[in-house]
Amino acid sequence: MSRRWMAALLAAFALTGMSSCRWPGDRGIIRLSGTLEMTEHSLGAAAPGRVDSVLTEEGDRVQRGQLLATLDRYEQAKREYNRLRDLFKVGGAGVQDVEHAALAARDQTVVSPVDGVVLVKTREAGEIVPAGGTLLVVGDPSDYWVRVYVPEGDLGSVALGQEAIVRFDGAARPVTGRVRHVSPQAEFTPRNVQTAEERVTQTFAVKIAVEPTDTHLHPGMYADVEIPRTSTKARA
């Protein structure tokens, strides 16, 4: 057996052994970067009108059901509701009259749907807003998630409920996350996708739900995400 042939045979064995391993950062793990976000609620009054008062500021903590803002007809609507409610007690008004008055008063208010924090204040007292026009944006700190973009070629290795490791810049330790949503539509799609290599540039938005325990974490922070593949086939 010649030395050249022996060297070629050993090299073939070496390549075969290497291809059967799952290398971290190669085939075994999908590594992505994203940003920390929280679920946001854009809040407005059901009726159009002029803003009478905004009772909170950006950065304030608010509770579910808390009154955050009112329109200029709120006091009038509330008085009418109280009047009809008192009349109903003595038989002077019907149930529907009271219910309509209650809805009219409610339509003049903005109430927080969650325990959260005011992220954005878009209107001030005196401004006119349309029905449903955003006055405040409230974030839900109990619902943090990281948005990443998974290349199309890796999408088959990502499943709902799958565990992921999330590391934030400046955080003492990583946190555990889980895949909560996979977008059904591709993004960043080239105009003319001709080859398999070009199709890899298509990506799908994926949300990784996390429960940060570090109080220094804030929406907008960068995160590194590691997702173990759900199915990695060893090659002989």
Residue-wise pLDDT for 60-93, tens only, equals 999 999 999 999 999 999 999 999 999 999 998 8
Question: pLDDT band at residue 121, thresholds of 50, 70 and 90?
Answer: very high
Share of the chain above pLDDT 70, in %: 78
Residue 4 has pLDDT above 70, yes or no: no
User: For the residues 49-63, what does the mean pLDDT come to?
Assistant: 96
pLDDT of residue 215: 62
User: For the residues 176-183, what does the mean pLDDT come to?
Assistant: 91
**Residue given tokens 């499943």 in the structure block:** 159
Backbone Cα Rg of the chain: 28
Question: pLDDT band at residue 23, thresholds of 50, 70 and 90?
Answer: very low
Question: pLDDT band at residue 116, thresholds of 50, 70 and 90?
Answer: very high
Residue 201 has pLDDT above 90, yes or no: no
Q: Which residue has the higher pLDDT, 25 or 21?
A: 25
Mean pLDDT of the chain: 82
Range scoring the smallest mean pLDDT among 61-70, 97-106, 115-124, 166-175? 166-175
Domain boundaries 40-139, CATH class: mainly beta
**Contact in structure between 34 and 219 (CB atoms under 8 Å):** no
**Contact in structure between 221 and 146 (CB atoms under 8 Å):** no
CA 224 to chain centre: 17
Tell me how far apart the alpha carbons of residues 225 and 175 are, in angstroms, rounded to a whole number.
10
The segment(s) of the chain belonging to CATH 2.40.50.100 are: 40-139
Tell me how far apart the alpha carbons of residues 55 and 111 are, in angstroms, rounded to a whole number.
11
Superfamily of domain 24-38+141-228: Efflux pump adaptor protein, beta barrel domain (2.40.30.170)
Residue 50 has pLDDT above 60, yes or no: yes
> Among residues 142, 143, 150, 154, which one has the least CA distance to residue 206?
150
* Per-range mean pLDDT, top range of 104-108, 146-150, 166-170: 104-108
